[in-house]
Structure 1
Amino acid sequence: MTARTDGDRSALILVFTHLVAPLAVFYGLRALGVGPWFALVTGTVITAIEVISTAVTRRRLDTVSITVLVILVISAGSSLATGDARLLLVRNAAGTALIGAWLLITLCLKRPLLFDGARMLQSADARKQWDRRWQESNVFRRALRVLTGAWGAGFLVDAVARLVLAMTLPVDLVPLLDNLLLIVTVIVLIIVQKLVGSHYRTRYGLQLRQPSGDRHEH
């Protein structure tokens, strides 16, 4: 199986466990007359199981997984204490805000979060090539830092919009709009990423997804 196939399969699993399944569980339970708080919590269990099982399989808990688990635990605990379903909805805003802030913070660390995030979706062989490119190419490192900054800023804007939705709209409507907002945010950021990638490809000959195209990097 190729690295591209492994990455696509991992991405599909993430989309299902973090978006599709929780949404289906929420609206399915609501249709059965279950209260919004319990329906929201039940949906998040699927996400938690995926994060934990992935960590156990890989025998390591990365920063992305830790962030997701912390958000799930804090939001579930807070909402349990108050019985307020909106706190669970605010969780999504808090989650994107934390991810956006952490993306920006990692610009000051050894490696930006986007490096590790992309690495999660790769096969073992692809991860070795990814690591080697980071060690050898200054242009590659700079491009990933620029992209990490763009994704960080984008998620912070997304968080503000998500908070407004959670606090002003009916509880049953917010989960669907949250997912739609995420789709829009990701599409916009992917367009930005492609524009940045095109710039680095034109100016430096850098192919972010093809290690063989790095001959002009410095």
Structure 2
Amino acid sequence: MLITLLCDIVGPVGGYYLLRAFDVAPVWALTLSGLPPALRVLYLALRHRRIDGMGVFVLLILAIGFATTLLTGDARLQLVRGAWFSVLIGLWMLASLRVGRRPTTYQATLALLPGRAAAVEERWADTPSFRRVWRVLTVVWGVGGLVHSGISIVLAYTLPVDVVPGLDTGVSIGSFVLLQVVTQVLLAREGTLNRVVARR
């Protein structure tokens, strides 16, 4: 977790400001500071001989950011590259309420609990409140992602470029923590998942 934190948060933000201290142009500082997460993904892919969906997502953002740098040289487009992907993810999460068998948040949690998957699926089938809480959480995360993306885009186009990487990272961390707190409170109040996980 510490390595992930350093590579995915500290590395990009610290790298950007370090490069700017050496007078690297903002657009290139933004591009190069995206390398630590990409290198971590490539290392894990080589080590485990596979790459997961999140890894593909990270590499795709970096590739699009690099292409944007070469084609436009616009630092502000670099700043919002992740926000546009977050918009798509938010819309996809909300669409999962109507399309597909299960809401996205439920599917993601099920993948994290392989040893309890069968029991969780049973609770989905026979507990209406359990189904309802996952639909609510999908709305919370989908709308939360869209709101966060909107804030990031506004910051990128209204503030000085050098202010945005640090501020946007702070907003991202705050948004994630808030959504996690809401998630844990709603799941604790409903109670079903905690009981399933607690079983031996």
- Structure 1 residues 119 and 179, CA gap change in structure 2 (3 angstroms): farther
Q: Partner of 2:42 in structure 1?
A: 52
Deviation digits for residues 21-53 of structure 1 (CA, Å, limit 9, x no counterpart): 111111111111211111111111111222333
Unaligned residue ranges in structure 1 (runs of 5+): 1-8, 214-218
Q: CA deviation at 1:90?
A: 1.1
Aligned length: 195
Q: 1:68 to 1:112 in 2, by over 3 A?
A: farther
TM-score of the superposed pair, with normalisation by structure 2:
0.82
Which residue is 2:119 aligned to?
Answer: 133
1:168 aligns with: 158
1:26 aligned to 2:16? yes
Matches within 5 A, 1:134-149: 134-138=120-124, 139=127, 143-149=133-139
- Give the Å deviation of 1:169: 0.6
1:151 and 1:189 in contact (8 A); partners too: yes
Q: 1:93-104, aligned counterparts within 5 Å?
A: 93-104=83-94
2:194 paired residue number: 207
Which of 97, 100, 103 aligns to 1:109? It is 100
TM-score scaled by structure 1? Answer: 0.76
Moved more, 111-120 or 70-79: 111-120
Residue 170 of structure 2, aligned match among 180, 194, 202: 180
User: Does structure 2 conserve the Cα–Cα contact (< 8 Å) formed by 1:113 and 1:148?
Assistant: yes
In structure 2, give the amino acid aligned to 1:133: A
Q: 1:3 — aligned with what?
A: none
What SS class does the counterpart of residue 33 from structure 2 fall into?
helix
> Alpha carbons of 1:206 and 1:75: their partners in 2 closer, same or farther (altered >3 Å)?
same
- 3-state SS, counterpart of residue 194 of structure 2: coil
User: Closer, same or farther in 2 for the Cα pair 1:25/1:70, shift >3 Å?
Assistant: same
Counterpart AA for 1:17: C
Which residue number corresponds to residue 55 of structure 2?
A: 65
Residue identity opposite 2:100 in structure 1: L
In the superposition, relative to structure 1, how do residues 51 and 101 fare at CA in structure 2: closer, same or farther (>3 Å)?
farther
Displacement after TM superposition at 1:119 (Å) = 6.6
Given the alignment of the two structures, is residue 42 of structure 1 paired with residue 28 of structure 2, yes or no?
Answer: no
